[in-house]
Structure 1
Amino acid sequence: MGYALLLLAALVTGPLTGPSPALRGILGTGYESVVENGHWWSPLTSVFFVDNAAEVVLALFAAVVVLGQAERLMGGVRTAIAFVVTAVLGAGLGILGQSLGVAGGEFWSRRVSELWSLDPFTPIVGTIMAASFYAGPLWRRRIRVFTISGALVLLLYSGQPSDVYRLIAALVGLGLGAAFRPRPIDLTWRRSSHHETRTLLAAVVGVLAVGPLITIFSGARFGVLAPLGLLLTQDVPAAGDVVDRCLLGDITRQCVHELTLERVGGVGPVLVSLLPLVTLLVAAYGLARGRRFGAWLAIVVNAAMAVLGAWYYGLLPISGQPYVWRWHPLRYWEVALVLVVSVLVPVATAILIAANLRRFPVRSRPGVRRRFALSIVAGFLALASLYVTGGWLLRDRFRPTVTLLDLVTDVPERFIPVGFLRLERLSFLPTDWVTTALYQWVGPAFWIIVIVGAIQGIRSSGSGGGNDQARLRKLLIRGGGGGSLAFMTTWDGNSIWFSPSGTTAIAYRVFNGVAITTTEPVGPIEDGAQAIADFATMCDDNGWVPVFYSLHDHWQPTFAGMGWRSMGIGEETILRPRTWDTRGKKWQDIRSSINRADRAGVRAEWTDYRSLTLLQAVQISEISEQWVQEKELPELDFTLGGLDELRDPAVRLMLAIDADDHVHAVTSWLPSYRDGVVIGWTLDFMRRRPDSMNGVMEFLIAQTAQTMSERPEIEFLSLSAAPLARTGGGAGDERDGSLAARVVNFLGRALEPVYGFQSLLAFKRKFQPEFHPLFMAYPDPVALPTIGLALARAYLPSLSMREAVAFARSLG
């Protein structure tokens, strides 16, 4: 109904230009409309009209998608109530606040008191916020973060009354949703998965990058952050004889203004203004992909914007002309607040990303950051030299004629957004197309170098990028070594070392000076001993302690011959599909789970991530997020995959789905190859809905085993290892004293109440598997405390320093 009213109102009142001024005065809302003219109905009528054709399209799209989703979540009646209530209270409370501001002489309220608002987005935002109470934990958080951050950015950069009404409507929607669906107040902080945290941080950086565009392309510049946006704007100069007229003696205030416009006119200055924002968008993409390079790029760019803003606005008058305060003393606090917030927002963004730096495990290849920095410095020096040299050779084509000192001191102004130059003294201007190209395009060229280098840095993962990943996967598919856990070597966050012969690869991660391998070497078994020795030499050259993790028994003689120590760290459980049979009393639990699924209409589906429907992919993300929120510790990493690892085309999923396409549980399986043929699958990701049927995981694993029993090439199913959990008497030599056992036992005890490794091992016993002990090999028992701390950081990258100190103390 709301969609039809909106479309009808737009068609009747003017779909291209919006309502006429007279009709706008009757239907629009605002301080003047309600308080001075008494149009009490306008908060409701204003939400059914728009200003122009673009808003018609956007509003109809938002109404169909957002309100349609809200109606699906909480029903048509609640959606209609939320629409009306948030429209009225959003504008009503905003106008009340404006009235108090006008009465008290508040600067912003007085400036915008005559503005009238037509905004259908106010109740749309409020309605979806109310509906968020009916969404699952994943989309509940996403709806709230994206909606609130978007409303805040519009308010901070644009600052129109409609932006205030929209934010108030969002908050009213939260209260209304709580009233619709009351729940006990829960002030507990709910953790996000690493994937979800990266997504949210990337969204925040992306929204903040787009924010200045609101100031650039809109006429509304009332927001708190409008100064920051203005730093990145440019105005189109008047054409004609501005240079000759002004520089030949006609120096007036208008002339100075025209010279300033001339300085910042043209395509080049526009690009210098916009390309830093593109750099932030590149950084946001890197954040979403878990790239540490993208995180550092976002930190540096935001910090640079804060420093430049502080310098320009006189908050940090290190050099140059500090900002001149020209406002009335009674309004000084408001101006100060505006400028301080303009600086603090990018600072806060940089701090937030830095605080979550461990959430971005994918490091660039060695030397990438150094090469990026060198390319930036070299690009700057080359372009600066080109500008100075070219300008000196063409000095007679500038007005007035430039000196070498003029060109050198003008160099920084060619590379920073032109908004920073508005209060800087203008020394000279170009007069023909050659000098204009030199004057305007060295800056964009520099930022293009930055963006291209940033893209290359983000694409260059620590595993060596596309070439090394291709080499690694060829070794895996060839099937020489690596064991059942070998596919974990392909995960983001690993560094890849290749033997000098190129026949063996070792995946590892470095923590606290300890290089821990993901699993055993990938490559021919006969080359393994030499590869291990060469890898240890490489680690020694870098000052790292080499530690081989998740090794099978057949590697014991190799490390014993090297004089290394070893200790058991877990048990891998193996099923043989060729002999799979669930008959007998000991299989009663498994048969019960299968029968329970049949009665509930739940089926198992073997698929991959690319074949999922959008609804199925969303449900899997939601299931994972619910699982993470139930834990008291962060999501584990290292040899335990998450959502990101599901997306690999080689990985397969087994889903539990009912007749309504409702996903109850999901498992993921990693392939093991021999001569290009998959001969086994290893269980990795396991998640289930809290309200799913009992035994759904047993059902999925049993169905996977049954499916694989029909494929003669499949030799094994590995239920993977239960990390830090053992049946006792496992592989390894712990004669180096109790310290070795205490390292593993402490990690196991610390994580057991939350992650249940022993419970996981007990769960896998139901399938009557073969037990294959796994061990860890290390060269020096003295390094065990450091190795233990490195393992803790491997599994818990977000482990705080306080937790790390407590762990170290517990080892004595």
Structure 2
Amino acid sequence: MRRLAARAARTPFSLSVATVLLVTALATGLLRGPSYALRLLLGTGYHSAIGLGHWWTPITSVFLVDNIAELILAILGAILVLGAAERLLGTGRTILAFLATAVIGTGLGLVLQDFGVAGGEMWSRGVRELWALDPFTPILGTIMAASGFAGALWRRRIRVLTLAAALVLLLYSGQPSDLYRLLAVLTGLVLGIALRPVRREAAWRRSSDHETRTLFGAIVAVLAVGPVVTVVSGGRFGILAPLGLLLTQEVPSAGDVVDRCLLGNITRQCVHELTLERIGGVGPVLVSLLPLIVLLIAAYGLTRGRRFAAGLAIVVNVGMAALGAWYYGLLPVSGEPYSFQWRSGQYWEVALVLIVSVLVPAATAVWIALSLRHFPVRTRPGYLRRFAVITTGGLLALSVVYVSLGWVLRDHFRPAVTLADLVADLPERFIPVGFLRLERLSFLPGDPLSSVLYDWVGPIFWLLVIGGAILALRTGAVGAPPEDQLRLRALLHAGGGGSLAHMATWEGSSLWFAAAEPAPAAPVAIAYRVVNGVAITVAEPIGVDPADDLPRASAVVAAFARMCDDHGWVPVFYSLRDRWRPVFDEMGWQAMEVGEETVLRPHNWATTGKKWQDIRSSVNRAQKLGVRAVWTTYRSLPLRQAAQIAEISEQWVQEKGLPELGFTLGGLDELRDPDVRLMLAIDSDDRILAVTSWLPTYRGGEVIGWTLDFMRRGSDTMNGVMEFLISETASLLKDRQEVEFLSLSAAPLATTGAARPDDETGSLAARMLDFLGRTLEPVYGFRSLFAFKRKFQPEFHPLFMAYPDPVALPAIGVALARAYLPTLTLREAAAFVRSLG
């Protein structure tokens, strides 16, 4: 209660708006809203504000609602959305933004309508009698203004999603209030920038791959849900208006329609009734809605980085654009009698509406296609083939069923159909009815049996697409299938693979298992990624230790190399400890050092002495500021703290001139693993200041070590917060006798001394890596990170890379670069090179 009271004290204006909305609703009509006279007096719109001179309506209209459902949504919006804006802006600026966006957004909309009516513009004349009661106009405008005061992550999310939602409402509903709302959102954007100009270093820059995928998924989902607005909105001006007609008007009987319209009497009323007849049932409604569900499924897959989901979204959007171009663009100008809409109104207005209805899905498809690099998780070919079989096989089977049964039931249609009629009509059974409202109708079903065949072929096909897509997204990621992941985790829990072995569980890695030979031996797993024809292992082989069984370790490596050779890949073993050198020396492979792992021993942990002064100072500073360390898991965090971690990570990514690294460096997605632990720095207000993640290493089912992976800190946190977190982690684990080591992992391209290549070619490669490390240091700080880890007086364990042929070194170097920077574009690389001078 105390916390709720504190939050209420911080948002007095938002609570006041919610209270006013409730009071006015009780006073003017709780269930159905204000009376006609009150709507005309207090509601805004062209007729009331300009025609009758009610200049006050841009303010009064935002405190009224149409019905009880809108009241509930408005109160929630005031408390949650406007409340969030008030916490960011403060009460004074919130009041300013609320009033300014309401007046300016609505005022600009009214001016545009006035110009439209004066110029005879079709939309303005069509809606001039409508009025708006809309509290969401200033609510969305205010949160847009508040985005200027939010952090990098939420600033982008608020702006992108709010603007997308406003655009979708305007495109699919098209009422005056939708125009006012969009203009209020744009006004809020300008106001937010004016109130708090974003500093250059914090300007709109690259987002992390995780955040980019989240935004893609959210926008595709908003665009998919958009047509449903046509169903629930009061006025239906969108491209799926026939769905709205089904809900609001009586569907005439098929017999009456056919009798009047199939004899050449093609009038406006006839086409209207044919449209109603087309959607007169559950099946036609489903065939319009199910493709939107496919897009929602694709949106979910986009957030997971799935390339299949990107392809699915592209195909559906291209299909919608193509259908729109054909049925809205080509047919109306072909001289057919049903093109009456093009003979009325101004040609450019109709053309603009139709062009926009085609360009929205087309632009979405192009946008996704140009951003495929953000969706690296591919689907295994077997699952792609299964999806293709399900969809194409289902399409062919349903087509045969429709044509063959339709021929058997030909006398059940009005008029009786021919085989050519059924074949010509077949494509339209799978097309959303909204695209067919201008299409010629040759026949209709005349009884329930023919209606089932006519109406349900399309929905069954789209249900097959939905089922196949769900299966492909749930089980089809390239890399380790679920059963192999279970085998891998069993091996990890048994022990082996070193401190980096848990990285083998990350999405995107493929798994290869060596046979359990001789029979008593346990299986061995190798995790790898194939990049540009190079198979790079993620960690040491899991399940065998060359110190205990050198012959078997050599046999496993040789078998993996043969498998790679069979596939035409160059095998590369990456990040190996020195105990693996004898294996590759025996095989005659080349080796070169690529980093050094820093390791602490918790049972010896102490921070006494001069060399530990920096660590002690960081711990003491945190204690004085009331900062505490919390050992937890990501799944245990409340949503608010999970969002704080995402915000911290996004700020960190935005500070870089290049994309965030991958491969052996985890991101937000890897924190969700239930085996991974987090050590958080949390202040007295329960705000997360910094986060580290720790990967487990097992032996006999018990954790014997933890490896540092994810490190992020807020830009405004205390100095030394990372030293504090690592020190607290070591102190926490000191008393746990089973924990043998605490690895601070390795900084790529950074070592304590010169690399130890085995030949002249290796020496050249080492010098190249040294140059690359120095070049990337200003951006990624590998060597600064290595110097930071040296503060903890760790043990140093060299890590090396083994490869069979020095000639392949250039290809290996490129593959490693692409593995760490999978989304780097040529433009970004060129910009970075230019920045180096």
TM-score between the two structures when normalised by the length of structure 2? 0.91
Question: Is residue 285 from structure 1 mapped to residue 286 from structure 2 by the alignment?
Answer: no
Counterparts in 2 of 1:256 and 1:328: CA distance versus 1, 3 Å: closer
1:792 to 804, 810, 817: 817
**Helix, strand or coil at the partner of 2:145:** helix
Shift of 1:164: 1.4
Aligned-partner Cα distance in 1 for 2:432–2:400: 20
Match status 1:617 vs 2:631 = no
Match of 2:355 among 328, 340, 347: 340
3-state secondary structure, aligned to 2:386: helix
Match of 1:20 among 31, 35, 42: 35
CA distance in 1, matches of 2:332, 2:770: 57
Is this contact kept in 1: 2:413–2:446, CA < 8 A? yes
Deviation at 1:255, TM superposition (A): 5.4
Pairing 1:693–2:718 present: yes
CA distance, structure 2, for counterparts of residue 320 and residue 682 of structure 1? 72
Alignment-mate amino acid for residue 484 of structure 2: D
Alpha-carbon offset, residue 100 of structure 1: 2.3
How does 1:162-561 map onto structure 2 within 5 Å? 162-182=177-197, 188-222=203-237, 226-227=238-239, 229-230=240-241, 235=246, 237-239=251-253, 241-242=255-256, 245-246=259-260, 253=267, 257-314=272-329, 324=339, 326-327=341-342, 331-459=346-474, 460-479=476-495, 481-501=496-516, 503-525=523-545, 526=549, 527-561=552-586
Q: Secondary structure at the match of 1:671?
A: strand
1:125-168: per-residue Cα shift (whole Å, max 9, x none)? 11112222222221121111111111111112212111111112
Cα distance, 1:292 vs. partner? 1.7
Compute the displacement of 1:219 (Å): 4.5
User: 2:85 corresponds to which residue?
Assistant: 70
- For 1:114, the equivalent position in structure 2 comes to 129
Structure 2 Cα separation of the partners of residues 322 and 495 of structure 1: 60
> Deviations for 1:509-542, whole angstroms, at most 9, x for unmatched residues?
2222222221122223344433332322232232
Q: Compute the displacement of 1:406 (Å).
A: 2.4
The alpha-carbon deviation at position 249 of structure 1 amounts to 6.2
Residues 462 and 496 of structure 1 are in contact (CA less than 8 Å); yes or no, is this contact kept in structure 2? no
Question: 1:244 and 1:301 mapped to 2: Cα distance?
Answer: 33
User: How far apart, in 2, do the equivalents of 1:745 and 1:640 lie?
Assistant: 19
Does the aligned pair in 1 maintain the 2:262–2:442 contact within 8 Å? no
- In 1, the alpha carbon distance for the partners of 2:746 and 2:301 equals 31
Q: Aligned runs of 1:65-144 on 2, under 5 Å?
A: 65-144=80-159
Aligned with 2:469: secondary structure? helix
Identify which range, 776-785 or 645-654, moves more after superposition: 776-785
Q: How far did 1:217 drift?
A: 3.5
State the alpha-carbon separation in 1 of the partners of residues 557 and 832 from structure 2.
30
Provide the rounded CA distance (Å) in 2 between the counterparts of 1:598 and 1:770: 28
* Cα deviation 1:226-284 (Å, max 9, x = unaligned): 23x34877746323633774589696645565444323321111111000000000000
Whole-Å separation in 2 of the counterparts to 1:442 and 1:320: 31
Shift of 1:317: 10
Structure 1 match to 2:11: none
Specify the SS of the correspondent of 1:650. Answer: coil
Paired residues in the alignment total 804
1:569 aligns to 2:579 (yes or no): no
Q: What secondary structure, in the 3-state scheme, does the structure 1 residue paired with 2:761 have? A: coil
- 2:242, 2:275 within 8 Å by CA — same for their partners in 1? no
CA distance in 1, matches of 2:615, 2:261: 90
Shift of 1:325: 7.6
Answer whether contact 1:139 1:622 (CA < 8 A) is retained: yes
Change (3 A) 1:234 1:508: farther
| SS state at 1:582 partner | coil
Greater displacement, 236-245 / 691-700: 236-245
**What per-residue deviation string (whole Å, max 9, x for no partner) do you get for residues 637-689 of structure 1?**
11111111111111100011122212111100000111111110000000111
The aligned residue for residue 152 of structure 1 is 167
Aligned-pair CA distance for 1:732: 4.7
User: Judging changes above 3 Å, is the alpha-carbon distance between structure 1 residues 259 and 230 closer, same or farther for their aligned structure 2 residues?
Assistant: closer
Which amino acid counterpart does residue 152 of structure 1 have in structure 2? L
Residues 734-788 of structure 1: CA distance to partner in whole angstroms, max 9, x if unpaired? 4325542254234323321101101111111111111111111222222222211
SS of match in other structure, 1:673: strand
How has the CA–CA distance of structure 1 residues 316 and 742 changed in structure 2, closer, same or farther, with 3 Å as cutoff? Answer: farther
Letter paired with 2:635:
R
Aligned amino acid, residue 474 of structure 1: A
Between 288-297 and 104-113, report the one with greater CA deviation: 104-113
Aligned-residue offset at 1:185: 6.5
The separation in 1 between residues aligned to 2:147 and 2:751, in whole angstroms, is 43
TM-score scaled by length of structure 1: 0.94
Return the offset for 1:31: 1.5
Structure 2 residue matching 1:516: 3-state secondary structure: strand
User: 1:390-421 deviations in whole A, cap 9, x for unaligned?
Assistant: 22233332333333332222221111112222
Q: Counterpart of 1:456 in 2: which secondary structure?
A: helix
SS for the counterpart of 2:572 is strand
Secondary structure at the counterpart of residue 367 of structure 1: helix
* Distance in 1 (alpha carbons) for counterparts of 2:266 and 2:123: 32
Match of 2:665 among 621, 640, 658: 640
Identify the residue that residue 6 of structure 2 maps to in structure 1: none
Q: CA–CA distance in 2 between the matches of 1:240 and 1:190?
A: 58
Q: Structure 2: which amino acid aligns with 1:372?
A: F
SS in 1 for 2:368: helix
Aligned residue type for 1:181: R
CA contact (8 A) 2:704 2:740 kept: yes
Structure 1 805/148 Cα, relative in aligned 2: closer, same or farther at 3 Å?
A: closer
Q: Distance in 2 between matches of 1:500 and 1:160?
A: 67
Partner SS for 1:114? coil
Taking the aligned partners of 1:175 and 1:78, their CA distance within structure 2 comes to 14
CA shift for structure 1 position 593:
1.1
Residue 273 of structure 1 aligns to a residue in which SS? helix
Taking every aligned residue pair, what percent have the same amino acid on both sides?
A: 66
Distance (whole Å) between structure 1 residues aligned to residue 365 and residue 331 of structure 2: 18
- Partner of residue 762, structure 1: 787
The DSSP-based 3-state class of the residue aligned with 1:666 is strand
1:34 aligns with one of 49, 64, 72:
49
Contact kept, 8 Å, 1:682 with 1:717, in 2: the verdict is yes
- The one-letter code matched in structure 2 to 1:697 is M
Q: Secondary structure at the match of 1:690?
A: coil
Contact 2:59–2:103 (CA under 8 A) maintained in structure 1 = yes
Change in 2 beyond 3 A, CA 1:522/1:319: farther
- Give 1:790 shift: 1.3
Q: Alignment partner for residue 702 of structure 1, among 707, 710, 727?
A: 727
Q: Deviations over 1:548-570 (max 9, x none)?
A: 21111122222222232222111
Q: Tell which deviates more after alignment, 798-807 or 93-102.
A: 798-807
Q: Contact (CA 8 Å) 1:32, 1:114: kept in 2 or not?
A: yes
2:656 to 623, 627, 631: 631
Residues 1:331 and 1:401: Cα distance change in structure 2 (over 3 Å) = closer
Alpha carbons 1:233, 1:273 under 8 Å: kept: no
Could you list the runs of 5+ residues in structure 2 that have no partner in the other structure?
A: 1-15, 517-521
Cα distance, 1:294–1:655 mapped onto 2, change above 3 Å:
same
